[in-house]
Structure 1
Amino acid sequence: MSAPPFHLAMLLCFASLAVSAIANDLESAQDQFRIGKYTEAEAVASAAVESGIWNERWSRLLIQCQLEQGKYAEALQTYEDAIRRYPTSMTLRMLGLEAIRFNNLSERADEERKRFFQILQSSPLRFASRDNLIAAGRYFVEEGEDARQVLEMFYDRVRDSNPDFLEAYIATAELALEKGDYKVAAETLAEAERIDDTDPRISYLKARAFESSDTKVTIESLQRALELNPNHVPALLMQAELALDRELYDDAEAAITAVLKINPSEPDAWALRSVMAHLEGDTEREQEMRSKALRTWNKNPRVDYLIGSNLSQKYRFAEGAAYQRRALEFDPDYHAANFQLAQDLLRLGNDDKGWTLAKSVADDDPYNVVAHNLLTLYDRIKGFSVLESGDIHVRMDPKEADLYGDAVLELLTEARATLCEKYDVQPDAPIMVEIFPEQKDFAIRTFGLPGGDGYLGVCFGRVITANSPASQGERPYNWKSVLWHEFCHVVTLEKTKNRMPRWLSEGISVYEERMRNPAWGESMTPQYREMILGESLTPVSKLSSAFLSPPSALHLQFAYYESSLVIEFLIEKHGIESLITVLVSLADGLSIDDALTRSVGSLDRLDVEFATYAREKAEAFAPEADWSREDLPADATTDELAKWVEDHPTNYWGLRRLAEAWIAGKQDQKALPVLEKIVELGAVTQEREGPLELLADVYQRLGQEKRERETREQVLALSSDALPSYRRLIEIATQHDDWQHVLEYSEATLAIQPLQPFGYEHMAVAAAKLKKPEKEIRPLEALLQMDPIDPAALNFQLARAWLQSGETTSAKRHVLAALEAAPRYRDAHRLLLEIVADSQ
């Protein structure tokens, strides 16, 4: 073949350069869009489209720029011009569908959806471009098709053939997030980061993926997204929602304002303003903001879904459910609203409708991970026992119900009587308490997903979920303390119609724990003392944020304690009546700031006065101790540390480190005076394996029983879950035939661990020794439920206890059970004769 003529070669060269220049211009404009320079990107794209360049990507970019800025009419016009040139572009049609909807053209949007499907049917997808395959997948997701098939047929297909095509990873992550599959979303986004870690969408989606599991990653990812694109609307909206959660309403408003500067018609932004108005009790503004959210698409189901889900996040489940129903009036097939409504109903105690709706969502959407988890759990809890006492209904594992269900009802009945009277509340519907023997089941019922480590119980209003001692390992928390705390939430949420900030709700519950039993709830510790006198004390006006973004688990626990101190301060200074007035004002729709101002005065003064009160409390804790850390050597040997302590004989941190070092070195004699010094200084707390428990263990190992017993009694006075000390005191009391103390310690043990034989065995023995058959019956019946080695002996003991209590029918039943298990049991034969004689 001969070489092309010179002029033709030059023409081809210029054409190549022109294509290259156009490609560079397009890439540059796309980069501008990516970093949030929407106006600049729009100008370049508009010029390219008007010049007639034959490349649909320019039209797509222009529509994206116009949609991002709320220029919906212009976006629709651009789409109509472009689709005539590129009628088979599925990507363009998906953008056009959005433009049509936001021009309030619902009927046309329906027609466009049908047209989209017709084109898919007429165009073989096996020849489709990767862009069109992703667009087709998004279409089918929106239509409610099986998400797993969408992944396989569209997104995975593109990723297999184009492993570096970012849009396939973005689409996969979006779908996984929509279905609650956060693990797949996180894994997919990690792959996307390896392809291009400068796309703000990846960081934003990563923030969403970790929102329910890792606050630190969420915040860092959100910050990263906004560093890459300060005008990234989804990230700004998420920032607003997080601020709403923390009750940082000025921050939320700032983020919303930033969004509306970009897109004055952004529906999510107006919806969040509607949420804020609702929380402020401004009904008129709430509806005005909702109307603005619906102004460009008057049947947009997401608006009411978003308002409702944010209200539910604030425990306003009834109001949230009402908004989900409005969303479903616009679109009965809107899955997000259907499932949120199911969750709202379950949290309102409307189990029949809630579970039915959850099942419907799971059937329609098999890939919805949260719905699947809930339905799997429902199959398990259908076998739970239901115990009732008045309007209190308890759902428990049948075996656990047999062992301590009556004690649960007794405790909750006491809580109802005490707290409802104190706060003048009368619940007008049943209160459901669900206790789960497996932590993952508790988490799924409570949060929808496994996780939630650290939570012992959660109250939604009239529904309480709690972990049973079976889910907590060898040293569980005091279940009575947990249920008292959660029932207090029932009372205060009822009093305020669920309109209270988290700090106030938690503060009252922890305070009421201490009122019921001084060893329950949070109390002062060396760490808390340091935090109060340092920089960690949060002003009362900002306390809710301490719960939602704590730097560590310790800071979260401190938030509970500080909140309870606020309640203690308010009641001491202003009386319980002032606190109740605050709750009533919240129920009337006032904000917490206005409610506090009305009841106790200026918030600024409250912040100052409380800070003074808290510091006085902290300084009163072990005031003779030296609390400085400045000169404490970091890497000293034990001998060097001992020398340092000799020079600093009252330094708590040095004493503690030295005691722990001596104990680790099995030198109890040297550890003993160090621990005794800490106790002498008064620096002891309810802390597990703290100085007081360590001292008791040292006394035990050194054989100093009297001092050990005294020290363990101190532990019990401070701690609600000191199971090791209870067990040891039972052993000591048994050795000394001190049956009254054995009985008392055994009963207290069962408030911590009711699922193991130890407490029941010693309680039964002590009751028998004290000739208290009425106290002997319950532990013996519990032991019968625990697959005993010798059921005949237990039935015999029960028969004897029932007979001594005057219940011959029950006595006869158990002695016959003993004989059935051991026909030659002579003592049982004699007891049967005695029972028959007494019956005649």
Structure 2
Amino acid sequence: MFDVRSFVAVSLSWCGVVVFAAAVQSADLQTTESLFRSGKYEEAESIAAAEVDAGIWNERWARLLLRVQLTQGKYAEALTTYENAITRYPSSLTLRLLGIETLRHNDFIERSEDEIARFFSVLQSTTLRYVSRDNLVAAGRYFTERGEDARKILEMFYDRIRDSDPDYLEAYIATAELAIEKGDYQVAAETVTAAERVDATDPRTAYLAAKAYESSDAKKANESIERALELNPNHIPSLIFQAEAAIDREQYDRAIERLDQVIAIHPKHPEAWALRAVLAHLDGDAEKEKEYREKALSTWSKNSKVDYLIGKKLSEKYRFAEGAAYQRRAIAMNPDYHVARFQLAQDQLRLGDEADGWKLAQSVSDADPYNVVAHNLVTLYDRIKTFETLQSGDIHVRMQPREADLYGDAVLNLLGRAREVLCAKYDVEPDAPILVEIFPDQKDFAIRTFGLPGGAGYLGVCFGRVITANSPASQGERPANWQSVLWHEFCHVVTLEKTKNRMPRWLSEGISVYEERTQNPSWGESMTPRYREMILGTTETQSELTPPSQLSGAFLAPPSPMHLQFAYYESSLVVQFLIEKHGLEKLKQILDSLGAGLSTEDAFIGAIGPMEKLDSEFERYAKKIANDFASEADWSRDELPEKGGLDAWQEFVDKHPQNYWGLRSLASRLLQSKRYEEAIERLEALQELSVFTGEHGGPMEMLAMAYRQTGDVEKEKQILLKIIGQTSDALPALERLIEMELRQENWENVASHAEDVLAIQPLLPLGHESLAKAASAMGAPHREIPPLKALLALDPIDPAGLNYRLAKSLDSAGEKELAKRHVLMALEDAPRFRDALGLLREMVQEDGAGDEPAPSQESRESPDTPLSTAKNGEVAE
């Protein structure tokens, strides 16, 4: 591999100081360049061609003409332009780089390889002559394609140019392109920001900003791409960007519209035809897919990017097997095409082909150290190798060892139940292992799932037979219910298996949320006052209900986290409507049709009729549900107080005694003023209107708090029970209920609430300790053993006491040898633990070894040694 650092060091030592001589451009050249930037390609071509034909001695005219011709796909004309220009300017590296592209797109593969070799030869000879800004950028791009160390390219080419000439735009463009290619979006964003301070009129800067923010800030990305198209309505990369986004949103007509715009400018554009091949594949039209792929390769038969792009977009649709097949095609054309090799690695990992996937990811990282995504993934692999793997049948669960000790068995049991229920319901039998990985660090989850840190808000993701999930450890004080999350994700396993990963996102998510709610009413999304408004609209806002035919787009770039949650809820309502109106069998028919390769529209037509009919029928259904929700309440926001003081809200409620917003706001202010009895009056009025939902900080939680403050324990308890019946993550309510039931020694209730706590947060002692106490009180040693084992895994203050309690439970359950082991462990920590010594003596006597000397009274009751009490395991001072 060529030593970039040595080359540049030699060049610069000859120069002494890098001096970039900026060519003086004529006004005509600048004007024509502006025409090109603004998308007036034919005008720019006409002027540039006239200048070249006139023999103007300025290489930039030839380069501009080449760029305009390449942009329009006029490859034959571009070849003539290049062949004439290079004889006149043989030392121009910038021109030669354009020439390589021109030869490739005329499918002169061997000649392009010769030109690459000639580029290198020119680069090596008389280096002093080529230390110009343009040629150094061209050299950097050349080394990038060769796979040289990106950091060296940045340092030795682009950074040096920018240091010497901070106003040279092309160096910023090249830097941002390189950073995006390697997945370093932070550097890309910073570079583009600097570039726009230099020149904000070039559409490339706005386009690159969109690429930089695409994975982290959808709103900013969309704003950037719109700005690029304002600068140049015919900017092909930006139109391709919009086409890809439309495909992601399943807005296929819009995607075709954008691709037609590209093809009108450039009839042979490889990426445009590659994306048309993707659309044909999604439509189940294999003949068109083949035809469009051939058109994409018609000008450059060895263009690996075509198959890479097709495969990447299919993988984004969860068609990982088909995507992997395209990546293999791309690699067959160019074994050193690292971007395809890494995409294949990710496809294999998501298909569960871990051995090959991790090996390929490592090879890409080794070959391309600056590939941020590959580096993140292989670094994560070192941590994953420390995880423990649990197995039950074809379900494999990978967890951090401590978490596996705490709730690994519960995870296996939950997934086993999900498999039994959901596979039977949807007539599915997975024929390969299902892998579930649970990450205690959200960053690790994001890297495994998306390749980069981020992904906040995602609790789990299913790729088919591979599930990744955040553990409660990664979610703060009020984590989501991990049981509902895994049930949701396992439902994806079932429906993706049934459809061979061929289903629209809204339908996949809708079924999973619906099945959550079916399994447990407190799981999944349900109607709330805010959702009611989003469905019906208000006097000031329109309905935000999305037609099912467009619903997948609601999951991409939602305006707020609330809108994303609403997309899940609405999708589940569509599924609920389908089952209520047409029956489960029709839904399964749709899934079978999708699995057979039919398009979404055709699958629905075959089962229930056109999507347009579904759109209109569902709108009526959803609005009826919204109108039926707390129908006696006044939902108007008209005349709500602007200042919002207590007196203003009191006056409003006096006039509008059934207004939800007024009662809620007044109650909140009364609670803040500690006027609990008055707050209770208002909250009970809301309760009578049937508006209570399980929302965090909502009226139900407010009423429970007010009852607690006034000492009305029984009413508080009844409200808390309603909260946990409607909310899957009501940890504070469960903690309070356990406290109440412990006082009253209602052990079955304690056990039930403790199990609900463990479904939310198994990493804290409360649930395990409460369950153990209840089991002990009920004389159920088998139920006491698991929580005691979990408490031992939580680094307890008194391990001796816990080991003693566990030994007693094991002994009562008939597990004598294990009981003896734990009583010995208790004595190892506290050698004079009197009750543990007594238990050991009983065990020894039961074994028929009664002739062994019993511990002396002195050893059991030495006044100098703390004794661990059998009652609570605490050391007596």
Q: TM-score, normalised by structure 2?
A: 0.93
The residue matched to 2:26 in structure 1 has which SS?
helix
Partner residue, 2:607: 599
Q: Deviation string for 1:134-190 (max 9, x for gaps)?
A: 000000000100000000111001000000000000000000000000000000000
| RMSD over equivalenced CA pairs, Å | 1.2
* Separation (CA, whole Å) in 1 of partners of 2:797 and 2:642: 54
1:48 Cα offset (Å): 0.3
Partner residue, 1:483: 486
Moved more, 467-476 or 535-544: 535-544
Gaps of 5+ in 1: 1-18
* Separation (CA, whole Å) in 2 of partners of 1:313 and 1:323: 13
Partner residue, 1:12: none
Partner residue, 2:51: 48
Among 293, 296, 300, the alignment partner of 1:297 is 300
Output the amino acid matched with 1:565: L
Q: Deviation string for 1:748-777 (max 9, x for gaps)?
A: 100000000111111111111111111110
Among 249, 274, 278, the alignment partner of 2:277 is 274
1:638 Cα offset (Å): 1.1
Q: Deviation string for 1:487-539 (max 9, x for gaps)?
A: 00000000000000000000000000011100000000001111111211111
CA 752–143 in structure 1, closer or farther in 2 if over 3 Å, else same: same
* Separation (CA, whole Å) in 2 of partners of 1:732 and 1:604: 53
1:684 Cα offset (Å): 1.1
Among 185, 188, 191, the alignment partner of 2:188 is 185
Partner residue, 1:509: 512
CA 126–416 in structure 1, closer or farther in 2 if over 3 Å, else same: farther
Q: Deviation string for 1:268-287 (max 9, x for gaps)?
A: 00000000000001001100
Q: TM-score, normalised by structure 1?
A: 0.97
Among 126, 129, 143, the alignment partner of 1:123 is 126
Moved more, 155-164 or 609-618: 609-618
Output the amino acid matched with 1:250: D
1:629 paired with 2:627, answer no
1:76 Cα offset (Å): 0.9
Output the amino acid matched with 2:423: C
1:434 paired with 2:437, answer yes
1:620 Cα offset (Å): 1.2
The residue matched to 1:272 in structure 2 has which SS?
helix
1:803 Cα offset (Å): 1.1
The residue matched to 1:395 in structure 2 has which SS?
strand
Partner residue, 1:286: 289
* Separation (CA, whole Å) in 2 of partners of 1:22 and 1:89: 17
1:814 paired with 2:817, answer no
Contact 1:125 1:133 in 2 (8 A): no
The residue matched to 1:465 in structure 2 has which SS?
strand
Among 809, 822, 825, the alignment partner of 1:801 is 809
| Percent identity between the two aligned chains | 63
Contact 1:201 1:225 in 2 (8 A): yes
1:20 Cα offset (Å): 12
Among 149, 156, 159, the alignment partner of 1:156 is 159
Q: Deviation string for 1:528-582 (max 9, x for gaps)?
A: 1111112111111111111113222111111100100011111111110000000
The residue matched to 1:543 in structure 2 has which SS?
helix
Output the amino acid matched with 1:735: R
* Separation (CA, whole Å) in 2 of partners of 1:87 and 1:126: 12
1:789 Cα offset (Å): 1.3
Partner residue, 1:314: 317
Partner residue, 1:38: 41
* Separation (CA, whole Å) in 1 of partners of 2:635 and 2:723: 22
Among 664, 676, 679, the alignment partner of 1:668 is 676
1:744 Cα offset (Å): 1.0
Output the amino acid matched with 2:194: E
Contact 1:213 1:451 in 2 (8 A): yes
Output the amino acid matched with 1:411: L
1:125 Cα offset (Å): 5.4
The residue matched to 1:590 in structure 2 has which SS?
coil
Contact 1:730 1:742 in 2 (8 A): yes
Output the amino acid matched with 1:727: E
1:827 Cα offset (Å): 1.1
Output the amino acid matched with 2:132: S
* Separation (CA, whole Å) in 1 of partners of 2:548 and 2:798: 59
Output the amino acid matched with 2:570: E
Q: Deviation string for 1:435-483 (max 9, x for gaps)?
A: 0000000000000000000000000000000000000011100000000
Among 747, 755, 759, the alignment partner of 1:739 is 747
Contact 2:376 2:447 in 1 (8 A): yes
Among 649, 653, 658, the alignment partner of 1:650 is 658
Contact 2:130 2:136 in 1 (8 A): no
Partner residue, 2:79: 76
Among 136, 157, 180, the alignment partner of 1:133 is 136
The residue matched to 1:458 in structure 2 has which SS?
strand
1:557 paired with 2:565, answer yes
The residue matched to 1:518 in structure 2 has which SS?
coil
* Separation (CA, whole Å) in 2 of partners of 1:146 and 1:605: 56
Gaps of 5+ in 2: 1-21, 538-542, 849-877
Partner residue, 1:212: 215
Among 441, 452, 456, the alignment partner of 1:453 is 456
1:386 paired with 2:389, answer yes
Contact 1:496 1:583 in 2 (8 A): yes
1:706 Cα offset (Å): 0.5
1:332 paired with 2:332, answer no
* Separation (CA, whole Å) in 1 of partners of 2:474 and 2:787: 22
Among 697, 721, 732, the alignment partner of 1:713 is 721
1:611 paired with 2:614, answer no
1:354 paired with 2:362, answer no
* Separation (CA, whole Å) in 1 of partners of 2:311 and 2:126: 40
Output the amino acid matched with 1:773: P
1:419 paired with 2:427, answer no
Q: Deviation string for 1:709-730 (max 9, x for gaps)?
A: 0000000110111000000000
* Separation (CA, whole Å) in 2 of partners of 1:125 and 1:532: 69
1:114 Cα offset (Å): 0.7
Output the amino acid matched with 2:285: D
Contact 1:808 1:839 in 2 (8 A): no
1:597 Cα offset (Å): 1.1
1:603 Cα offset (Å): 2.1
1:697 Cα offset (Å): 1.2
1:665 Cα offset (Å): 2.8
1:636 Cα offset (Å): 2.8
